């Protein structure tokens, strides 16, 4: 028996979407390049995540936490055991004593931590200085807060910090400066003298600092990571962000943390509690257990430096010009001796014709800026890197 047509409701037209809060945001280059890599069966050295497994002990620690009943809401700021472990680690490595109860908050990854820090501190019309190229969440986060991003480009060809231009960018409306060390995408690091110079710029001001330190345990060649927590003038005005995903090869877990002075953290938590409220309990408990052994993060620089050195040695005979990679798990290369294509076009050509995916560094700027540089990720198994190198050596 067929339905009476008169009883079938006429479809209503779709509602028009509200005005976009992020009108300039579209499909990211990371999504585009990963899809192209899959289509062409290319080695994906584009997106920054490992293709190898994490330590089975950390998986077991989380599983044990689930079996032990750690399955209900934790405190909003995070499990005490994990916050205590974080505070102890920072104190031992960088010499700054954060109070675990009032100055450490566990977050749903570093990206949430960055957004929450900006939302809690930046008001409409405030200016936030950002060093470019930069991680792609920074500018949309500032826009969502109603702030105005003030980009300052790192100096070519080695992406040095342009302190004169940084100082000139500071105005009475500057609310925050956002820095990142070790730096994504360039692989550069801030050194002690850089931090001292920044401290001198900020002394006597009420400008806040947001320090993205998610690659803190990936600093090479005997260099020490210069956390802002090492520097009292900077620490007293800073939100410091880090990531368990990067440190423990579990990027899909999306667990990070923020350290900040008590007054700043109180404002951070006001936003955090209505943003994500808290982070899943068994992973927090598992991470707290796993952190009892510092070896995994203390040994990480040597682990990734070996991968960096293997990858750089494999590229040494090509026409790529290797740029410094002092930290992170990224290697930037200048391809100007190979092609005069723009960076996005070159990355697509490399994926289609050579079978290796990279990310154009131009994608990390607010406005198009070509420097003939692409970024590779070497957080991969040796066989993955070997296959990529075999293909890249044809160039």
3-state secondary structure 331-357: EEEECCCCCCCCHHHHHHHHHHHHCEE
Q: Are residues 46 and 75 in the same domain?
A: no
Query: pLDDT by residue (tens digit) across 125-149?
Result: 999 999 999 999 999 999 999 999 9
Listed in order, strand segments (DSSP E) in 115-161 are: 127-132, 148-153
Q: Are residues 238 and 157 in the same domain?
A: yes
Q: Are residues 37 and 162 in the same domain?
A: no
Q: Residue 27: pLDDT above 90?
A: no
Q: Are residues 150 and 272 in the same domain?
A: yes
Angle, CA 195 vertex, CA 190 and CA 199 arms, to 5°: 155
Assign residue 303 the CATH number of its domain.
Answer: 3.90.1150.10
**269 within a domain of the structure (yes/no):** yes
Radius of gyration in angstroms for the set of CA atoms belonging to the chain, rounded to a whole number: 22
Domain boundary among 227, 261, 294: 294
Higher pLDDT among residues 364 and 9, named by residue? 364
Q: Are residues 243 and 119 in the same domain?
A: yes
Average pLDDT (82-98) is 98
Identify the pLDDT of residue 51.
95
Structural domains of the chain, count: 2
Q: Are residues 48 and 103 in the same domain?
A: no
**16 within a domain of the structure (yes/no):** no
Q: Residue 47: pLDDT above 90?
A: no
Average pLDDT (250-279) is 97
Q: Are residues 229 and 320 in the same domain?
A: no
**18 within a domain of the structure (yes/no):** no
Q: Are residues 219 and 70 in the same domain?
A: yes
Give this prediction's pTM. 0.95
Buried b (16+ CB within 10 A) or exposed e, 285-309: bbbbbbbeeeebbeebbeebbebbe
State the pLDDT confidence band at 1, using cuts at 50, 70 and 90. low
Higher pLDDT among residues 32 and 69, named by residue? 69
Domain boundary among 266, 294, 322: 294
Q: List Cβ neighbours of 43 (8 Å cut-off, separation of 6 or more).
A: 37, 355, 356, 357, 384, 387, 388, 391
Tokens 């060809």 correspond to what residue?
A: 157
Structure tokens at 42: 């290319």
Calculate the average pLDDT of the chain. Answer: 96
Containing structural domain, residue 105: 56-294
- 203: phi then psi, degrees, rounded to nearest 5: -55, 135
State the pLDDT confidence band at 100, using cuts at 50, 70 and 90. very high
Q: Are residues 83 and 197 in the same domain?
A: yes
Q: For 19-23, 66-70, 183-187, which range has the lowest pLDDT when averaged over its residues?
A: 19-23
**384 within a domain of the structure (yes/no):** yes
Assign residue 132 the CATH number of its domain.
Answer: 3.40.640.10
**7 within a domain of the structure (yes/no):** no
**24 within a domain of the structure (yes/no):** no
Q: Distance (Å, rounded) from C-alpha 126 to C-alpha 150?
A: 10
Q: Are residues 375 and 247 in the same domain?
A: no
State the pLDDT confidence band at 3, using cuts at 50, 70 and 90. low
Average pLDDT (304-322) is 97
**17 within a domain of the structure (yes/no):** no
**168 within a domain of the structure (yes/no):** yes
Domain boundary among 274, 294, 314: 294
Q: Are residues 197 and 343 in the same domain?
A: no
Average pLDDT (37-61) is 96
Q: Are residues 357 and 289 in the same domain?
A: no
Write down the H helix ranges in 205-280.
232-235, 244-247, 262-275
Identify the pLDDT of residue 2.
64
């Amino acid at each position: 028996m067929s339905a009476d047509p008169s009883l079938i409701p006429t479809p209503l037209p779709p509602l028009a979407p509200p005005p976009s809060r992020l009108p300039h945001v579209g499909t990211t280059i990371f999504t585009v390049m990963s899809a192209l890599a899959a289509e062409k069966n290319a080695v994906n050295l584009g997106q920054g995540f490992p293709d190898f497994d994490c330590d089975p002990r950390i998986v077991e620690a989380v599983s044990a936490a689930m079996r032990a009943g750690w399955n209900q809401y934790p405190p909003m700021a995070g499990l005490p055991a994990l916050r205590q472990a974080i505070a102890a680690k920072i104190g031992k490595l960088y010499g700054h004593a954060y109070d675990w109860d009032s100055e450490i908050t566990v977050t749903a990854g570093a990206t949430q931590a960055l957004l929450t820090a900006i939302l809690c501190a930046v008001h409409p019309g405030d200016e936030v200085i950002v060093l470019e190229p930069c991680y792609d969440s920074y500018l949309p986060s500032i826009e969502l807060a109603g702030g105005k991003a003030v980009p300052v480009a790192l100096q070519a060809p080695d992406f040095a910090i342009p302190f004169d231009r940084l100082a000139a960018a500071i105005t009475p409306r500057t609310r925050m400066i956002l820095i990142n060390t070790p730096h994504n995408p360039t692989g550069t690091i801030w050194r002690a003298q850089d931090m001292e110079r920044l401290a001198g710029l900020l002394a006597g001001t009420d400008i806040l600092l947001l320090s993205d330190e998610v690659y803190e345990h990936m600093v090479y060649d005997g260099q020490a990571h210069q956390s802002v927590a090492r520097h009292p003038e900077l620490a007293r005005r800073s939100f410091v962000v880090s990531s368990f995903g990067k440190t423990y090869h579990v990027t899909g877990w999306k667990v990070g943390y923020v350290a900040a002075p008590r007054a700043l953290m109180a404002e951070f938590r006001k936003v955090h509690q209505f943003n994500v409220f808290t982070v899943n309990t068994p992973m927090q408990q598992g991470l707290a257990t796993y952190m009892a052994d510092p070896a995994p993060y203390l040994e990480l620089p040597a682990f990734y430096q070996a991968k960096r050195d293997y990858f750089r040695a494999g590229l040494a005979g090509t026409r790529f010009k290797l740029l410094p990679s002092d930290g992170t798990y990224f290697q930037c290369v200048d391809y100007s001796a190979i092609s005069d294509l723009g960076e996005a076009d070159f990355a697509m050509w490399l994926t289609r014709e050579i079978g290796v995916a990279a990310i154009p560094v131009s994608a990390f700027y607010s406005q198009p800026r070509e420097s003939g540089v692409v970024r590779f990720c070497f957080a991969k198994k040796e066989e993955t890197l070997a296959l990529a190198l075999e293909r890249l050596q044809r160039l």
